Amino acid sequence: MAGIRLPPEDSDIPQARAPTYADLVSDDDRSVAADSWSIKSDYGSTLDDDQRHADASDALASGNFRAASDYSSDKDELDSEVVTSMLGLQSYWDAAYADELTNFREHGHTGEVWFGVEVMEIVVSWTKNLCIEISQGHMPNHLDDAKSEPVEQGEKYLSSWSVLDIGTGNGLLLQELAKQGFSDLTGTDYSEGAIDLARSLADRDGFTYINFLVDDVLESKLERQFQLVIDKGTLDAIGLHPDGPIKRIMYWDSVSRLVAPGGIFVVTSCNNTKDELIREVDSYNQRVLGASQEPDTPKDQDVSRDSPPFRYVNHVRSYPTFMFGGSVGSRVATVAFLRS
């Protein structure tokens, strides 16, 4: 899973090494953590500004993987010799959001917007247009986000879309979707601190109707399905766990249960290109179809025996691109899949 790896901005700085679990529990774990994942946002920084110069994309892209042979829960102690990234560990996020909450309570800071405000705004307006098109019976595969105009009076459709943001963090993506006209909004995160922060911000900003729940997407307790499921940065974080490859399969299993038939899944990643995401979904589809054709598969499975669970619909085309190693790429990819 190559992904586009950005070169370090300063070549004198040694190649970024993914922080290890040993780093996390070292004496200065919070500052290591802050340096490794922060991206400055227009909403204001929450930790020491001088330490917030590292790019979140680089942090996520610097993770190393171990063979997916022996799955273990990230709540367990990890082998300190395994080189991995803290961003794959719940302990990292719990500590990060404890800081974010303190900063919110003491200074009113909102916290970080992953991949920046511009990306968030593109994701929101592109997703909104996609939902309007689908509501009107179109299945767009060339929706040009740069030129697309909101479909006339299309906002009226949005209130009927149920939305789930997995790994919602501070929940600002949902607030932006609410501003566009979505009203049935739920955000989940496995970190209780994230949910406390998201709820506090939503209350402060007048979005008391957004639901926030603690839930691990890999072992989701949600019993409801949603027409729009959205992820910005969560699959990236999950992939950085030492058992990332297995957790990614669990992730797709869970997402396929959470998206209602005919609904869509919109994923934004800085660690996978659009083509890699499509390939990952293709292999997941093949795996599910193969398993469903086994003679002893229970008939009550929600996946049809002949149709793949996900189908590529469209991707954001307006992100700035750059050349690296002879290839053209963008820093982030946003791809939509339709749930059959």
Strand partners, 338: 264, 311
AA letter at 265: F
User: Which of 122, 143, 178, 194 is close enough to bind ligand SAM by CB under 6 A?
Assistant: 194
Specify the residue, 155 or 192, whose C-beta has the smaller distance to ligand SAM: 192
Closest CB 98 distance from ligand SAM, rounded Å = 12
Stretch of residues binding ligand SAM (CB under 6 A), selected from 43-51, 187-195, 258-266, 309-317: 187-195
Question: Which position has the token pair 């020491």?
Answer: 48
User: Which of 24, 130, 195, 218 is close enough to bind ligand SAM by CB under 6 A?
Assistant: 218
Q: Which residues contact 247 (CB under 8 A, 6 or more apart)?
A: 71, 218, 238, 239, 241
In the chain, what is the straight-line distance between the N-terminal and C-terminal CA atoms, in Å?
26
Q: Decide if residue 234 touches ligand SAM (CB under 6 A).
A: yes
> To 10 degrees, what angle do helices 172-180 and 116-135 make?
40
Q: What is the DSSP code string of 98-146? A: HHHHHHHHHH------TTHHHHHHHHHHHHHHHHHHHHTT---SS--TT
Stretch of residues binding ligand SAM (CB under 6 A), selected from 13-21, 148-156, 176-184, 230-238: 230-238
User: Which of 167, 239, 263, 309 is close enough to bind ligand SAM by CB under 6 A?
Assistant: 167
Q: Decide if residue 158 touches ligand SAM (CB under 6 A).
A: no
State how far the alpha carbon of 322 is from the alpha carbons of 125, 131, 248, in Å: 23, 29, 27
Specify the residue, 233 or 308, whose C-beta has the smaller distance to ligand SAM: 233
Q: Decide if residue 216 touches ligand SAM (CB under 6 A).
A: yes
Number of residues that bind ligand SAM (CB under 6 A): 19
Q: Decide if residue 242 touches ligand SAM (CB under 6 A).
A: no
Q: Assess contact for 124 and 173: CB atoms under 8 A.
A: yes
Q: Element (H or E) spanning 212, and its range?
A: strand 211-214
User: Which of 199, 232, 248, 331 is close enough to bind ligand SAM by CB under 6 A?
Assistant: 232
AA letter at 332: V
Specify the residue, 58 or 189, whose C-beta has the smaller distance to ligand SAM: 189
Q: Element (H or E) spanning 285, and its range?
A: helix 274-292
Q: Decide if residue 33 touches ligand SAM (CB under 6 A).
A: no
Closest CB 195 distance from ligand SAM, rounded Å = 9
Counting every residue written for the chain, the total comes to 340
Provide the mask over 88-127, with x wherever binding to ligand SAM is found by CB under 6 A and - wherever it is not. -----x-------------------xx-------------
Binding site for ligand SAM (CB under 6 A): 93, 113-114, 167-169, 173, 189-191, 194, 216-218, 232-234, 237-238
